[in-house]
Amino acid sequence: MKKNVTFFLGILVAGIIFSGCDKKTNVLTEQEIAEGWSLLFDGQTLDGWRDFKGEKVDIAPWQVEKGVLTSLGLGSDSTGYIVTTSEYENFIIDFDWKISEGGNSGLLYHVVERPELKVPYVTGPEYQLIDDVGFPNPIEEWQKAGADYAMYTCDPAKKVLNKAMTWNNSRIVFDNGHVEHWLNGQKVLEFEAWTEDWFTRKNSGKWDNAPEYGLARSGVFALQDHGNRVWFRNMKIKELPRKPKQENLFNGTDLTGWEIYGTELWYVKDGELVCESGPDKEYGYLGTTKYYNDFDLSLEFKQEANGNSGVFIRSYIKTGVQISGWQVEVAPPGNDTGGIYESYGRGWIWQIPDEKENILKKDDWNTMRIKVTGDKITTWLNGEVMTDMNDEKIGQGKGRILLQIHSGGGIKVRWRNLQLTEL
């Protein structure tokens, strides 16, 4: 009888093992396909992935092992990243992962690739992947698995983390600024990006040397080899629609929502935003704290003196007052107000026809409208089209809206009614 029991137990165990091995991974169900899910990893190749700022996976220590995307543990804080070949904006990403004992890794999103950016985490928020128990050094709650690294921590009452070398399931929801982190079927944290609370956390010290952290509305995903082995499978994504909304960029009272770059003067007087040359007579900028991708912006300006200014779109400050991006020109009469100038690049990419120079009203309020969708930009001045063009580089741009005061001194421009609709 004992032999029979042992025999049947053997069959049962073998059946369980066989069943587990036979379970398909990296495959979508018909329902998932119908719901709009797609795979980020096909289970066989590195297709869809490349080195950070590279063209293929050539340097980073990643490979496919038995249907699993895995790091070799040869990376570091500054090396070993792979990123998706496609960018994503609003999404649900779901994935299985396991990590080596004492290991540390992460999945980052909305990562921006610029020549001066050395690593993904200076722009991309990170879902932390780590061995909480076995990590060799003490770690803070904001460093533990499931956390939004250095920003938001998990609810300990809801967090269940499987031990090292055991599979976990994670999910990130990013829905037009609403963010959720899930771990093994439980929502462990939730927050709203780009709120006052979010900026307070961002400005608390950790990101002092990463001014563009977390601002991008879209970007690539990045996986990190931090010198430890980590494994991924069943990586799937469902893209979510963008939700248009309206926003008043200037509250008429103070500079809330803006940041000053340089030493020129920016202040509020009589409900108007004023830029004025200071004693240094250098370039100066006033930039939104947020990034804006596709939008329809209308504003009014009045040039009290000289008027050499502009509105930068999808732009950012590289260092000091060195700006990278595209300027919708605001200038004295005869100088292409409404045209497009690219800083630190091609220079003028659109100048207005001479017959339209008289549309600018001197010593009076002017209305400007700027519409940017993908690679198309259209500008209007006092209701007349000044620019209507498509440009691939503009389409790839990410950044803030900034108002400029030109160098040279003697400039004073007033602004009001800055109304933006995100498209």
Q: Output the CA torsion sign for 246, 251, 254, 260.
A: positive
Q: How confident is the model at residue 63 (pLDDT cuts 50, 70, 90)?
A: very high
Asked if pLDDT for residue 84 goes beyond 90, the answer is yes
Q: What pLDDT score was predicted for residue 97? A: 98
Give the confidence band of 317 by pLDDT, cuts at 50, 70, 90: very high
Which of 335, 176, 312 has the alpha carbon at shortest distance from 244?
176
Residue 91 structure tokens: 């999404």
Task: Read off the pLDDT of each residue in 355-383 and give the average, rounded to a whole number.
Answer: 97
Whether 1 has a pLDDT exceeding 50, the answer reads no
Q: What is the pLDDT, as a whole number, of residue 330?
A: 98
- 3-state class (DSSP) for residue 314: strand
Q: Which residues contact 182 (CB under 8 A, 6 or more apart)?
A: 169, 170, 171, 172, 173, 188
Residue 409's beta-bridge partner residues? Answer: none
- DSSP for 81-120? EEEESS-BSSEEEEEEEEE-TT-EEEEEEEE---TT--SG
7: exposed, middle or buried (C-beta count within 10 Å: 0-12, 13-18, 19+)? Answer: exposed
Mean pLDDT of the chain: 94
Confidence (pLDDT) at 5: 40
217-274 pLDDT, tens digit each = 999 999 999 999 999 999 999 999 999 999 999 999 999 999 999 999 999 999 999 9
Q: Cα 322–325–327 angle (5° rounding)?
A: 100
> What percentage of the chain exceeds 90 in pLDDT?
94
- Pairing mode, if any, of strands 284-288 and 400-405? antiparallel
Indicate if the pLDDT at residue 19 is higher than 80.
no
Q: What is the DSSP letter of 32?
A: H
Contacts of 357 (CB under 8 A, 6+ apart): 333, 334, 336
Residue 14 has what pLDDT? 39
Output the pLDDT for position 9.
39
Note the pLDDT of residue 257.
98
**Residues 399-416, mean pLDDT to the nearest whole number:** 97
Across residues 95-106, what is the average pLDDT? 98
Q: Which pLDDT band holds residue 327 (cuts at 50, 70, 90)?
A: very high
Residue-wise pLDDT for 278-316, tens only, equals 999 999 999 999 999 999 999 999 999 999 999 999 999
Confidence at residue 4, expressed as pLDDT on a 0 to 100 scale? 46
- For the whole model, what pTM was predicted? 0.92
DSSP state at residue 163: P
What pLDDT sits at residue 23? 67
Higher pLDDT, 19 or 51: 51
Per the CB < 8 A criterion, the answer to whether 99 and 79 are in contact is no
Query: What gap in Å lies between CA 70 and CA 89, rounded to an integer?
Result: 25
Under 8 Å CB-to-CB from 233, ≥6 apart: which residues?
Answer: 25, 26, 41, 43, 67, 68, 69, 95, 96, 97, 167
The predicted-structure confidence for 180-210, as pLDDT tens digits, reads as follows: 999 999 999 999 999 999 999 999 989 999 9
Domains along the sequence of the chain with CATH: 23-239 (2.60.120.560), 245-422 (2.60.120.560)
- 43-57: per-residue pLDDT in tens? 999 999 999 999 999
First to last CA, the chain: 74
Q: How confident is the model at residue 13 (pLDDT cuts 50, 70, 90)?
A: very low
Residue 21, pLDDT above cutoff 90: no
φ/ψ (deg, to 5) at 22: -80, -15
Rounded to a whole number, what is the largest CA-CA distance in the chain? 104
Residues 6+ apart with CB under 8 A from 196: none
Residue 101 — very low, low, confident or very high, per pLDDT cuts 50/70/90?
Answer: very high
Task: Supply the pLDDT for residue 294.
Answer: 98
- In angstroms, the CA 84 to CA 389 distance is 29
Can you say whether residue 205 is alpha, beta or left, with left for phi > 0 and alpha for psi between -120 and 50 degrees? left
Instruction: Please tell me what DSSP assigns to residue 361.
Output: P
